[in-house]
A = this chain, B = another copy of it.
Amino acid sequence: MIKLKVEKKVVTISQYKEIANTLKERIRNGDYRPGQHLPSQKKLGNEFNTSRVTIQKALDELSNANLILRRQGSGTKVAPNSQSTLDILSSQYEGTTKLFEGRGKVSTKVLKFQIRLPSSHEQKRLAISDSTPVYDVLRLRNVDEEPYELDHSVMPLSVIQNLTETIASKSIYDFIETTLGLKVGSSIRKITADIPQKNDIEYLKCDHGEPILQVSQTVHLSDGRAFEYSQTRHRYDKGGIIVINNTLSTNGLDA
């Protein structure tokens, strides 16, 4: 365990994550090249002056990120597609604002901002009661002045408080993480294609006949509470959704 002081706060970073980051950096730099073998766990243990179990936890991180391939008896190799995986990892989806930083000018227009009671479908998705009010926010995102996506979010006041229209016009995720100090956890998304509706035509400037890519998602905090149920509708010609699947947790013998 390593302790650092960052702005009067003590931050501890576990050794295995430090090692994982170092190894990730070596792959990024090309110190370890795709297809090449990494040093054995024993050698890495010597190099970092730690036990083999700790090295293994570090390698677990890289393995989960699809950066390495481990084979009993044979050794650990850098994945052939490690570079593209690194690219994708560093541009993780975390709301639109972060995704486009440095790649274009993002602006957000709040089209609707109100507080109301949830529909029964929303109650189910957010696991809240019919008496818990929600924010109902409709926003249009532009990238470089061109309409990019139309986002309809519903968030319970029991989880997110003091949201304002001004905040919604910037980044809600940033507000949640920085101001409220909450941590975003898992999400479940359903991706579909759809025919453009009135709103799409008006705000995204679609024609009839131009398909919409819709992402419907429920997002949770790291403590498990659902904090957002949203539909985001994209113009079909402005990119798609990239998904990495690493065959986790399909361990064979159960249903």
Interface residues of A, Cβ cutoff 8 Å to B: 13, 17, 20-21, 24-25, 28, 35, 61, 64-66, 69, 71, 77, 79-81, 84-85, 88-90, 92-93, 127, 184-195, 208-213, 218, 220, 222-226, 234, 236, 239-251, 253-255
Contacts and interface: CB of A to CB of B under 8 A. Distances in A.
Copies in the complex: 2
A192 B213 contact: yes
A161 to B, nearest CB: 20
A220 B187 contact: no
Contacts of A253: 13, 17, 21
Contacts of A65: 248-249
B236 A77 contact: no
Give chain A's interface secondary structure class. Answer: mixed
A213 B127 CA distance: 30
B185 A64 contact: no
A189 B13 contact: no
Given A61-B249, A242-B188, A247-B184, A236 B80 contact: no
A25 B209 contact: no
Given A21-B251, A80-B226, A81-B127, A186 B64 contact: no
B193 A250 contact: no
Nearest to A16: B251
Interface-central residue, A17, A192, A225, by most chain B CB under 10 Å: A192
Contact of A242 (B66, B89, B190, B213): B190
25 contacts: A17-B251, A17-B253, A20-B251, A25-B254, A28-B255, A35-B224, A61-B249, A64-B249, A71-B223, A84-B188, A85-B188, A188-B242, A188-B244, A189-B245, A190-B242, A191-B191, A191-B213, A192-B239, A192-B240, A193-B193, A193-B212, A193-B234, A208-B209, A213-B213, A243-B243
A17 B251 CA distance: 7
Contacts of A248: 64-65
Contacts of A28: 255
Contact of A186 (B193, B246, B255): B246
Contact of A223 (B25, B69, B222): B69
A89 B249 contact: yes
A253 B61 CA distance: 14
Contacts of A81: 127, 188, 218, 220, 224, 226
Given A84-B188, A186-B247, 16 more contacts: A13-B253, A64-B248, A64-B249, A69-B222, A81-B218, A85-B188, A186-B246, A187-B244, A187-B245, A188-B243, A190-B241, A191-B243, A193-B194, A194-B211, A211-B212, A241-B243
